């Protein structure tokens, strides 16, 4: 690496915060020169096969000509215009697409800046719905432990309060209700003990609960845990029985990652409110959306508090909407389901040997998601550079090594990723006491 890039990295580590890092104890950073397809090219010339889709988002890989063209074409007319009192074709077209590909009940769209903001809006929708119905006391959320919904204050308040990343702020967060997380990885059975705990909290607090919020089938940054569609279906039934709104956070799982376009489809249910983001723009620009049913929209609009109280400056940014439209067209016109299924089968086959390592607690795969859970916390300062040495980009956290590659990854490239994972995990096993 040149002296210029040495200086860049030094400045970066002295002055820039990266996600979940300490300035006093920085983790290694690797300057990227360019990205194309499934490859990241570093400034020193090394190429890394991307196993992370830039945190679930770059499902089509990088530098895609169709997505580039969407950005370039939109730039010729306008890069941004306020959404207060104005509208534009990219936003309307994107709303139409989202309404068409989600459940028929979901007919209304709020565009947000990020996934966390989409969750904030969903929480506001639920609370304001009940306020408009003359029940302002219904302000609490019910969720399950091991969940993650974002890093803003409303979202933090519904993340796992004990094992999550936000316990430092617990005294200033809204206090919500947490049922035990289900332990049921199959599709047809559910954890009765977990359902009983969930229903107990719901029944005893129904007068104060505005909504249930949950990540369908896959709990992401809270532990990369999977649970059954049968459990999710039961949650929907209980929400209906107790007249509580259901918010589904599909920011990580939406747009094909679990094998269906949206994870909730596997439970044959519909949410009252749906949050999407991450892969919405194919990883190009930050954009998210909160969709809701006419019941929720009309319940707010016809009630005592008809104006939804949220409005980001960059709401429905035309550049982001344009590339999101192109990304959805690209996805829907591709054999994405076949690709995700192929990735799933290859991950199952190639990661299975990790079950024999004494350092490994569990190996699990769902759709284009592969997870190796170890018994102990990982040394990220050692592990991240080791993956780079092996020519892949994998970003572990806590005691988890996980991948969610772009859908376009070729089998040979995916094998290089899984081989690197097996190599690193085997090295951990050799050094474990």
Per mean pLDDT, which range of 20-29, 46-55, 289-298 is the poorest? 20-29
pLDDT 10s digits, 87-119: 999 999 999 999 999 999 999 999 999 999 999
Round to whole Å and give the CA distance between 259 and 254.
Answer: 10
pLDDT 10s digits, 219-270: 999 999 999 999 999 999 999 999 999 999 999 999 999 999 999 999 999 9
The confidence score (pLDDT) of residue 189 equals 84
φ, ψ of residue 324 to 5 degrees: the values are -65, -40
Residues in the chain, total: 433
φ, ψ of residue 430 to 5 degrees: the values are -65, -30
- Strand-pair category, 245-249 with 369-374: unpaired
| CATH (residue range 3-63+335-431) | 3.90.1150.10
Name the band, by pLDDT with cuts 50, 70 and 90, for residue 433: low
The confidence score (pLDDT) of residue 2 equals 58
332 φψ region: left (φ > 0), alpha (ψ -120 to 50), beta (else):
alpha
| Sequence ranges of the domains in the chain | 3-63+335-431, 68-332
Gap between the terminal Cα atoms of the chain:
36
Enzyme catalytic residues: 20, 148, 249, 278
Instruction: Give the CA count within 13 Å in the CB-facing half-sphere of 46.
Output: 16
Q: For 68-332, which CATH class?
A: alpha beta
Round to whole Å and give the CA distance between 291 and 275.
Answer: 6
On the 0-12 / 13-18 / 19+ scale of CB atoms within 10 A, 269 is: buried
User: DSSP letters of 44-73?
Assistant: TS-EEEESSHHHHT-TT-BS-HHHHHHHHH
The confidence score (pLDDT) of residue 3 equals 65
Of 283, 267, 261, give the one whose Cα is nearest residue 98: 261
Round to whole Å and give the CA distance between 297 and 305.
Answer: 12
Mean pLDDT across the chain: 95
Number of H helices, E strands in the chain: 13, 16
- Calculate mean pLDDT across residues 118-141: 97
**Residue with the two structure tokens 């919500």:** 176
Residue 298 contacts by C-beta under 8 Å, 6 or more apart in sequence? none
> What is the Cα 124 distance to its own chain's centre?
20
Cβ(44)–Cβ(67) under 8 Å?
no
φ, ψ of residue 345 to 5 degrees: the values are -65, -40
Name the band, by pLDDT with cuts 50, 70 and 90, for residue 166: confident
Name the band, by pLDDT with cuts 50, 70 and 90, for residue 163: confident
Cβ(56)–Cβ(278) under 8 Å?
yes
285-321 in b/e form (b: 16+ CB < 10 A) is bbbbbbbbbeebbbbbeebebeebeeebebbbbbbbb
Bridge partner list, 42: 32
Q: How far from 123 is each of 12, 135, 253, 309, CA to CA, in Å?
A: 36, 15, 19, 11
H-helix or E-strand spanning residue 213: strand 209-214
- Strand-pair category, 106-112 with 140-144: unpaired
- Calculate mean pLDDT across residues 304-324: 96
User: DSSP letters of 221-282?
Assistant: TTT-EE--HHHHHHHHHHHHHTT-EEEEE-TTTTTTTTSSSSGGGGGT---SEEEE-GGGGT
**Residue with the two structure tokens 């939804």:** 308
- Check whether 291 has a pLDDT greater than 80: yes
Q: How many CB atoms lie within 10 A of CB 191?
A: 20
The confidence score (pLDDT) of residue 432 equals 64
- Check whether 356 has a pLDDT greater than 80: yes
Torsion of CA 260, 261, 265, 266, to 10 degrees: 20
Name the band, by pLDDT with cuts 50, 70 and 90, for residue 1: very low
């Amino acid at each position: 690496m040149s002296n210029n890039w040495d200086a860049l990295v030094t400045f970066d580590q002295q002055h820039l915060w990266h996600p979940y890092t300490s300035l006093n104890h920085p983790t290694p950073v690797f300057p990227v020169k360019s990205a194309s397809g499934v490859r990241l090219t570093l400034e020193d010339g090394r190429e890394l096969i991307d196993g992370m889709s830039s945190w679930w988002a770059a499902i089509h890989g990088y530098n895609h000509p169709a997505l580039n063209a969407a950005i370039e074409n939109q730039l010729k007319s306008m890069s941004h215009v306020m959404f207060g009192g104005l509208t534009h074709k990219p936003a309307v077209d994107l709303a139409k697409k989202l309404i068409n590909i989600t459940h028929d009940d979901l007919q209304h769209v709020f565009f947000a800046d990020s996934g966390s903001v989409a969750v904030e809006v969903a929480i506001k929708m639920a609370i304001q719905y009940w306020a408009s119905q003359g029940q302002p006391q219904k302000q609490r959320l019910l969720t399950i432990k091991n969940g993650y919904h974002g890093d803003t204050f409303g979202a933090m308040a519904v993340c796992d309060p004990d094992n999550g990343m936000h316990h430092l702020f617990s005294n200033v967060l809204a206090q919500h209700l947490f049922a035990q997380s289900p332990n049921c990885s199959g599709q047809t059975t559910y954890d009765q003990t977990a359902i009983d705990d969930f229903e107990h909290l719901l029944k005893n607090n129904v007068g104060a609960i505005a909504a249930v919020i949950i990540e369908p089938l896959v709990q992401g940054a809270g532990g990369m845990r999977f649970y059954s569609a049968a459990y999710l279906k039961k949650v929907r039934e209980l929400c209906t029985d107790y007249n509580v709104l259901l918010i589904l956070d599909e920011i990580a799982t939406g747009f094909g990652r679990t094998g269906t376009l949206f994870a909730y489809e596997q439970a044959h249910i519909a949410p009252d409110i749906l949050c999407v983001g991450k892969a919405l723009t194919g990883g190009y620009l930050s954009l998210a959306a909160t969709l809701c049913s006419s019941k929720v929209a009309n319940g707010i609009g016809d009630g005592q508090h008809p104006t939804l109280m949220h409005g980001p400056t960059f709401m429905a940014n035309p550049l982001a909407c344009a590339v999101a439209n192109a990304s959805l067209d690209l996805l829907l016109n591709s054999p994405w389901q076949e690709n995700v299924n192929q990735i799933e089968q290859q991950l199952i086959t190639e990661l299975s040997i990790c079950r024999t390592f004494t350092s490994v607690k569990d190996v699990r795969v769902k759709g284009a998601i592969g997870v190796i859970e170890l018994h102990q916390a990982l040394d990220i300062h050692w592990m991240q550079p080791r993956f780079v040495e092996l020519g892949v980009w994998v970003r572990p956290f806590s005691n988890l090594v996980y991948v969610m590659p772009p859908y376009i990854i070729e089998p040979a490239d995916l094998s290089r990723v899984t081989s690197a994972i097996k190599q690193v995990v085997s090295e951990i096993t050799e050094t474990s006491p």
